[in-house]
C-alpha cells in the first residue's frame, strides 16, 4: 500500500527535495515566520496493546503526532509532505486563521488535497491560545477516526491566567477508539456500523499506557483532547478537579467535578490539586471503553501515582512496570517552544 518506504535521513532529504519541486504555499502574512516545521505523513504500524497492531497514517511516524508548542501571536509555517498512497490535508483545529483561511486545511474548499509525493505549506498566526490539535481533514471518518492522524497543538497565552501561573505539572491526554476489523486495511473502514473495540490514551491501551506521577502539593493540568469517534466520560478517583478551560478558552467560573463528559473534537483542561497521596485511577466511565476487545481491565485507564507512596505492592498491576517518561508530553512541554517528536509514540514503517 506504500508509495514510499523511507525513514531517517533518506526521508528528510526526499522531503526537502519535494519541498523545492512541488510545494504549494499559502501565506498568512508578509514577513518572516517565528517557527518553521517539517511534517511527513507515513504509513506506520503502531502497537495499541499486546499483539494488537494497527496500520496508521502517522505524522512523522508517530501517534500522536509530534507536539507543536508555540506562543500566542507567533507566525507558523508547516511544510507537509505526503509519503502515503492516499491524499491528505491538515486542519489546525482551534486556530482562527484570521486572514489565512486557505491554511484551514479543508479539501476542495480551502485547498486541493495533498497528493502522494507532494508537499503543501501552511502558514498562519497561532491564535487563540490554549489546548488545540491538528488532524487530517480528508476522509475524516477513516483518517482521523481510525488511522491516528492527529497531534496536540498547544499555544501558550501572552498573559497566563492566575491558575496557569500556579501549574507545576502539565500533561496531554488524547483519547481515541479503534475498530480492529480494519486494522490492516488502509483506505477502508470508518463507516456507520463499525464496532470500536480498542480504546486508547495517546495511542496506547491499558496496561501499556503510563502512570501520571505527581508529588503532594503539585498543581496538575490535564489537557484532554477528544481525538477519536467516541464520547468519553473521564472520571478521576480521590480528587475534585476544576474544569478550567473549554476548547482552549478559560471559563469565567470553573466547574468543580470528579467526572467530565467530552465528545469528538472537544478539549477540556482540568486543574487538579495533588492533596491526597495514594494511587488513584483515571478511567473512562463509558465502561465498555475500559476493555481491550472482549477482555476487561484495559482501554482508557491510567493511574495517578504519588511519589510519596511505595508502588511495589505485589498486587499492583504496574508495581514492576518500567516507567517511560514523556508519554503525556510532560517533558516536551518543558522544552523550548517548537515541534517535539517523542520516541515513545513512534511506530514502525509499514512494508
Q: Which of 94, 128, 159 marks a domain boundary?
A: 159
The answer as to whether 337 is a domain residue is: no
Return the pLDDT at 29.
44
Q: Are residues 175 and 146 in the same domain?
A: no
Same domain, 131 and 271: no
Report if residue 340 sits inside a domain: no
Q: What is the mean pLDDT of each run of 10 residues along the chain (351 residues)?
A: 44 48 47 93 98 98 98 98 98 98 98 98 98 98 98 98 98 98 98 97 98 98 98 98 98 98 98 98 98 98 97 92 94 98 98 81
Residues 326 and 181 in one domain: yes
Same domain as 144, residue 99: yes
Residue 15 Ramachandran class (φ > 0 left, ψ -120 to 50 alpha, else beta): alpha
Both 212 and 232 in one domain: the answer is: yes
Whether residue 131 sits in one domain with residue 98: yes
Q: What is the pLDDT of residue 31?
A: 59
Note whether 151 and 173 are same-domain residues: no
- Residue 341 lies inside a defined structural domain of this protein: no
We report the CATH number of the domain holding residue 140 as 2.60.40.420
In a domain? residue 319: yes
Domain that holds residue 141: 8-159
- Cβ 322 vs Cβ 56: under 8 Å: no
Say yes or no: 269 and 300 in one domain.
yes
Domain match, 93 and 189 both: no
Q: What are the φ/ψ torsions at residue 3 (nearest 5 degrees)? A: -80, -25
Q: Are 200 and 257 in the same domain?
A: yes
Same domain, 208 and 278: yes
Domain boundary among 109, 140, 159: 159
What is the structure's pLDDT at 279? Answer: 98
CA torsion angle for 149, 47, 330, 61 (degrees, to 10)? Answer: -50
Point out which residues pair with 78 in neighbouring strands.
37, 122
pLDDT for 18 equals: 47
Domains identified in the chain, total number:
2
Query: Which residues are within 8 A (CB) of 59 and not within 5 positions of it... i.e. 6 or more apart?
Result: 39, 40, 41, 42, 65, 66, 149, 151
Q: Return d(Cα 54, Cα 67) in angstroms, integer.
A: 21
Decide if 339 is inside a domain.
no
Residue 347 placed within a domain:
no
Residue after which a domain boundary falls, among 159, 181, 197? 159
Residue 345 lies in a domain: no
What pLDDT, on the 0 to 100 scale, is given for residue 351? 81
In a domain, 49, yes or no: yes
Residues 72 and 199 in one domain: no
Task: Identify whether the C-beta of residue 4 lies closer than 8 Å to the C-beta of residue 101.
Answer: no
DSSP 8-state symbol, 10: H
User: What was the pLDDT predicted at 344?
Assistant: 97
pLDDT value at position 320? 87
Amino acid at each position: 500500500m506504500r508509495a514510499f518506504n523511507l525513514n531517517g535521513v533518506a526521508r528528510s532529504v526526499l522531503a526537502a527535495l519535494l519541498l523545492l519541486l512541488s510545494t504549494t504555499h499559502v501565506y498568512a502574512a508578509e514577513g518572516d515566520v517565528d517557527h518553521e516545521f517539517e511534517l511527513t505523513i507515513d504509513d506506520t504500524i503502531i502497537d495499541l496493546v499486546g499483539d494488537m497492531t494497527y496500520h496508521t497514517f502517522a505524522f512523522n511516524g508517530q501517534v500522536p503526532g509530534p507536539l507543536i508548542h508555540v506562543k500566542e501571536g507567533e507566525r507558523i509555517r508547516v511544510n507537509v509532505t505526503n509519503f502515503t498512497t492516499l491524499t491528505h490535508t491538515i486542519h489546525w483545529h482551534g486556530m482562527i486563521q484570521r486572514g489565512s483561511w486557505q491554511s484551514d486545511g479543508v479539501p476542495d474548499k480551502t485547498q486541493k488535497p495533498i497528493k502522494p509525493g507532494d508537499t503543501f505549506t501552511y502558514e498562519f498566526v497561532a491564535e487563540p491560545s490554549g489546548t488545540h490539535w491538528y488532524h487530517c481533514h480528508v476522509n475524516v471518518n477513516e483518517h482521523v477516526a481510525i488511522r491516528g492522524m492527529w497531534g496536540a497543538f498547544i499555544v501558550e497565552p501572552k498573559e497566563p491566567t492566575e491558575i496557569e501561573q500556579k501549574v507545576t505539572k502539565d500533561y496531554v491526554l488524547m483519547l481515541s477508539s479503534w475498530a480492529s476489523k480494519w486494522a490492516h486495511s488502509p483506505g477502508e473502514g470508518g463507516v456507520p456500523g463499525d464496532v470500536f473495540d480498542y480504546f486508547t490514551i495517546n495511542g496506547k491501551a491499558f496496561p501499556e499506557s503510563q502512570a501520571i506521577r505527581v508529588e503532594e502539593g503539585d498543581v496538575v493540568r490535564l489537557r484532554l483532547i477528544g481525538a477519536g469517534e467516541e464520547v468519553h466520560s473521564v472520571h478521576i478517583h480521590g480528587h475534585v478537579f476544576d474544569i478550567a478551560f473549554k476548547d482552549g478558552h478559560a471559563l469565567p467560573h470553573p466547574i468543580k467535578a470528579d467526572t467530565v463528559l467530552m465528545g469528538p473534537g472537544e478539549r477540556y483542561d482540568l486543574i487538579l490539586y495533588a492533596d491526597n497521596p495514594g494511587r488513584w485511577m483515571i478511567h473512562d466511565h463509558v465502561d465498555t471503553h475500559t476493555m481491550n476487545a472482549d477482555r476487561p481491565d484495559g482501554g482508557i485507564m491510567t493511574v495517578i501515582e504519588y511519589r510519596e507512596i511505595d508502588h511495589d505492592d505485589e498486587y499492583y498491576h504496574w508495581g514492576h512496570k518500567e516507567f517511560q517518561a514523556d508519554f503525556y508530553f510532560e517533558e516536551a512541554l518543558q522544552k523550548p517552544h517548537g515541534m517535539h517528536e517523542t520516541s515513545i509514540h513512534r511506530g514502525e514503517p509499514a512494508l
